[in-house]
Structures are given as C-alpha cells and as structure tokens.
Structure 1
Amino acid sequence: MTKLLVTGAAGQLGRAVLNHLLETSKVSPGDIVAASRDTSKLADLAAKGVETRKADFTDEAGLAAAFAGIDRVLIISTDDLATPGNRLKQHKTAVAAATKAGVKHILYTSMPNPDKSLVSFAPDHLGTEEAIKATGIAYTILRNAWYDDNYLMSMPHNLETGTWYTAYGAGKVSNISRDDCARAAAAALANPPAGSTTLTLTGSESLNAEEIAALVSKASGKQLNVVHVTDEQLAGGLTSAGLPDFLVKMLVSADANIRAGNFDLVTSDFEKLTGSKPQPLSGYLANNKDALLSAH
C-alpha cells in the first residue's frame, strides 16, 4: 500500500489533482491523504474515504507530522505572492518536513525555465527545485506552463472594450489548462517516472498574441483587437485599474517573459505521463465561453 499526499488540497489545483487521482488514475481513496491549512474545506473528500490532515507551511513540526507514513508527496506551490521571500521559505519548510518524515518521493509544481525566467516569482520555484535536489530524495519536478485559465481573469474585460493591451511583442506562449496540469500531476503521483526527473507540461502549440486573440474572438463571438504596449504602459494601465503592486509586477513580468521567448516551448511530457494529448486553447476557450462573456 503506497500512501500519496497532496498539499494545498483545498486550492484549485489541489482539488483537481485529487479528483484525477480518484477518477482518472483510479487510486483507492484509502491510499490518498489530502492536506490543507483548513481541513473543514475537505469534508466532501473525507466523505469519499480520503484521509485529511492539517498542513500549515509555516509550521515545520506540524508538517513533518502531516507527512508521517507518506510514501510520495505532491508539494503544490503556495499562493503567498504578496510578500517577497515568503513563498520560498514556506516551500523550504515543506521540503525539510518531507525529509524529516522519511518521504520516499517528492513531486513539486514549478514553472518553465525558472533559472532564466523574467517572471517575478521565478526565484521561488528555482530555489524550491534546488532545495528538493539537495535532499537526495527521488523527485519529479512538474514545470507547468502558463495556464489557459489566466485568460479568464483579463479577457472578459478586454472583450468588453474590444481591446487587448499586451506587452507580448512577437513572443509566443504554449498554454495548458490547470486541469490538464492536475491530470498530469495525478498520473505522476500515482505512477512516478523512475529515478529523478524534471518535466515541462505545455500545450501542443505555441501562439502569439494575435493568434490567441483570434481564438478568444471565435469562442466569444466578439471582436478583440491587439494593441502592443511597453512594459511601462502596461504597468500604468494595470495600476490605474486598481490592481495591487505585486500583481502588476507579476503580470508585466509574465508578458516580458513571453516577449523574451522563455514560454515558447512545446514538449510531449504531458502525453508521456497521461497517454493523451493536452486540450488545445481553442477547446478550453470554447468550453468557458460564459466566463469570457461575464466581465465583472
């Protein structure tokens, strides 16, 4: 009997991983542990027979107790982005706890090319990858490409105005859906690649801003024009829209990273893990037409 634990189980990615472990990978609920700061949010999983444990990334002793008796742990990166350095500290605490608890295999959700990425939070991922490698424990690092889901945050507003202000330049990006990343993570957790490996999960095509806008237009039935701006102009627009400073920095740095070509990569790693092809962005947008048309 192999015990699998998923951290961040109440979050969007964590929930989707648990769903795929149960439904897609057909892992027995008794072999799964769902861990979260707030286990009351996991009552529906507990009702299915999944064990729930409290896991707080600021409490190493508590985490080591949560990881006790676990064979493989999936450490899902936390969403603590407002204070620089916080997230890396939390991840290192989780890695130390996994080591202390005698976990045999660590899986971690990272990002493409964190060593050369311009994205503001890339150092968190690079530092965590290095901490995991330093343990000597077998690992699977899953570098998730930029989510399709991120477009649902900005595109509804863009469609309302008919304009997408972007600093992508001529850069391309191969998006993948959060659910596909969850499916791949569940497959890797249930049946990890031998030894230690780093995989990059991407869609099957890399697209520029005009190509993405055309797909958004087609899915929504509304015209979307691309207007290329500088990083400074983009930052100004996001700031005047009322976004907090750390989020402005993150979004501008992501556009800069696309412009630099660092998100322009297509791999077959998703297919290697799952045996199927990732959902294309066109399909994702078509399935989420209602969300695209519901600007708040």
Structure 2
Amino acid sequence: MTTSSTQAPTIAVTGATGHLGRLVIHALLDRGVPAGSVAALVRDLAKAEDLAARGVVVRHADYHRPETLAAALEGIQSMLLISSSDMDDRPGQHRNVIDAARDAGVQLVAYTSILNAGTSTMLLAADHQATEAYLRDSGVPYALLRNGWYTENYTGGLAQSLPHGALLGAAQDGQFNPAPRRDYAEAAAAVLSTDGHANATYELGGDQAVTVSQVAAEISRQTGQPYAYVNQSVPEYTATLTGFGVPAGFAAVLADSDAGIARGELSTHSGDLSRLIGRPTTPLPDAIGAALKG
C-alpha cells in the first residue's frame, strides 16, 4: 500500500514513525524539500497518518520482509537507513535493505551507525560495524552517520528515576558528547538533501563534552529536585537493570555501553555535527530544558 501523490518521491526515510525518523522527515520539510519528494517507509501505515496529511508519501516497508522493499524504494535516489530497534539479527535486517537499495539503483544510502564505530569495543558497536562493512562492500554510495548518545537517553526515563533522586550507571567520570535527537535529525536531513556526501563518514556528537554526573546535576538544577549520579560497577549495574525488568542480554549491552563512556568511546572533537547542521549543537541545558517541557 502506498499513499497517492502528484510528485514522485526521491528521498526515503526508513523507520519513519520512530523518534528519530519522524524528526528527520520534519527536518527535510523545514529545509524546503517538497513533501511529495519524501517517502516515509513504515511497517504500520496507520501510524504515519500525520505524515501523509502533510503530503509525505507513505510506503510499506519491513526490514524482515525483503519482498516489501523493492516497491518501497522505487524511484528513490537517496535514503536514510535508520538502524533497527529489533536486536534480533540487526545486521541481517540491514542487509535486506541495502540489497534492495542496490537493486533499486539508489544513489546514496545514509546509515545511522554509532560514534567511533571504527575503533569502538562496545558490544553495541558490533552490529553497526557489520552493517558498515556490508554497506561499503555493496557498491552503493554511502554516508556513515555515526551518531553519539542522545540527550534523551537521560531525560526519557526521568519519570521513573527522578522520584528516587538518583541516576544509576557505570560510566564513572568518562566524558562524552551528547546532543538531542533533533540535532542528529537535522544532520541526516542535510546529508539526504545536498550533494557531496558519497562515501563520507561523519563522527557526530555535541560540541560540549560532559560527564553523566554533570547531566544529573543539570537535571537537578532545572527541576529543583535532588538528583545525583550514582556510579556502580558494570556487574552491579547489569544486576540493577535486570532487577528493573530489563532482559539480561540487553542489560549487559546497556551496562557495557556505560563502560564505553568510561573509556571515552562516545567522545568526539570532530565538529561534524555542528558543520552539517550549520549552527552550534544544542547546549546541554537547552536540550534538558526542552525535554522537561515535553
């Protein structure tokens, strides 16, 4: 199923009803890309009714079902492959999309990878490293958008953690460069809608390096509530997460990601994000303030 449009889409965004995908589409429209030139690739068409109402072309696409992808990519020149949120064989899901893009003649596949994927030892990086390698070998021109941590990783769970006055983790005093999803979305929109990005790699993160303790302190300042970072060992934090009901495998990945912060693996001084969006990245206080306002 596809919504009708008088204009054939040339830019596609996968996972378009997710947090990042929806922001990318909004950023494309804000850049002046005609809505009819944008295809939102989604598993559930009903969730994209608001995008269709703005004139965006909505197409059915499922990473798990390669037979849905050829029609979804018809006429597409550049696309954003947002990494799957389904942790079951993510590289396999991504390969399905990359193969379909190659067969459809897509001229640029931008992929949302992870910051410092070339050197990262984080468990979370392994699927991204496999996807990057497959994309390079596919023959399709690519852009690697190696996204750092989202500010929302800390503000998204405040309803649960703020009443307890503690932000738990295993990041020690490691520095990292968070930015809100909107900044990363604007960067993706810039890559999709302008030339000169073929076979480029962008290390994306906020301009400001911070620690998790500083994030917690800023949240405390803005909410007026006691809120502090409590560091645990990786095994302790893994056990804490499983105690909260997080599946054991995912808990291990999350705790290991904090260990990656402690090692500096989510830190960057590249400036790529601010250059792509044409402005300084959103300062941490502003990002937290916006998140707290909803």
Q: TM-score, normalised by structure 2?
A: 0.92
Q: Which one of the candidate residues 206, 222, 225 is aligned to 2:225? A: 222
Distance 1:30 1:2 in 2: 6
Q: Quick check: 1:61–1:97 contact (8 Å CA) kept in 2?
A: no
Greater Cα shift, 255-264 or 34-43: 34-43
- Whichever residue aligns with residue 202 of structure 1, its letter is G
Alignment-derived partner of residue 198 in structure 1: 201
Cα deviation, 1:34-63, whole Å, max 9, x if unaligned, reads 111112222222222221111111122321
Alignment-derived partner of residue 7 in structure 1: 14
Q: 1:192/1:12 Cα in 2 relative to 1: closer, same or farther (>3 Å)?
A: farther
Distance 2:160 2:121 in 1: 25
Post-superposition offset of 1:215: 1.1
Distance 1:161 1:194 in 2: 45
Alignment-derived partner of residue 212 in structure 2: 209
Alignment-derived partner of residue 167 in structure 2: 164
Confirm or deny that 1:20 pairs with 2:27.
yes
Alignment-derived partner of residue 74 in structure 2: 68
Q: Quick check: 1:210–1:226 contact (8 Å CA) kept in 2?
A: yes
Moved over 6 A (4+): none
Alignment-derived partner of residue 30 in structure 1: 36
Distance 2:166 2:54 in 1: 46
Q: Which one of the candidate residues 256, 276, 288 is aligned to 1:273? A: 276
Distance 1:274 1:225 in 2: 32
Post-superposition offset of 1:161: 1.8
Unpaired runs of at least 5, structure 2: 1-7
Post-superposition offset of 1:220: 1.4
- Whichever residue aligns with residue 56 of structure 1, its letter is D
Confirm or deny that 1:80 pairs with 2:86.
yes
Distance 1:45 1:290 in 2: 23
Aligned length: 287
Unpaired runs of at least 5, structure 1: 292-296
Q: Quick check: 1:220–1:286 contact (8 Å CA) kept in 2?
A: no
- Whichever residue aligns with residue 127 of structure 2, its letter is D
Cα deviation, 1:111-164, whole Å, max 9, x if unaligned, reads 112243243331111111111111222211111111001102444433322223
Post-superposition offset of 1:245: 1.6
Q: 1:80/1:194 Cα in 2 relative to 1: closer, same or farther (>3 Å)?
A: closer
Greater Cα shift, 26-35 or 164-173: 164-173
CA RMSD of aligned residues (A): 1.7
Percent of aligned pairs with the same amino acid? 34
Q: Which one of the candidate residues 180, 183, 186 is aligned to 1:180? A: 183
Post-superposition offset of 1:65: 2.2
Post-superposition offset of 1:194: 4.0
Alignment-derived partner of residue 111 in structure 2: 108
- Whichever residue aligns with residue 159 of structure 1, its letter is L
Alignment-derived partner of residue 4 in structure 2: none
Alignment-derived partner of residue 120 in structure 2: 117
Q: Quick check: 1:118–1:253 contact (8 Å CA) kept in 2?
A: no
Distance 1:103 1:142 in 2: 17
Q: 1:119/1:155 Cα in 2 relative to 1: closer, same or farther (>3 Å)?
A: farther
- Whichever residue aligns with residue 232 of structure 2, its letter is V
Alignment-derived partner of residue 136 in structure 2: 133
Confirm or deny that 1:243 pairs with 2:246.
yes
Q: Quick check: 2:170–2:255 contact (8 Å CA) kept in 1?
A: yes
Greater Cα shift, 95-104 or 63-72: 63-72
Q: 1:232/1:190 Cα in 2 relative to 1: closer, same or farther (>3 Å)?
A: same
Q: Quick check: 1:148–1:175 contact (8 Å CA) kept in 2?
A: yes
Q: TM-score, normalised by structure 1?
A: 0.91
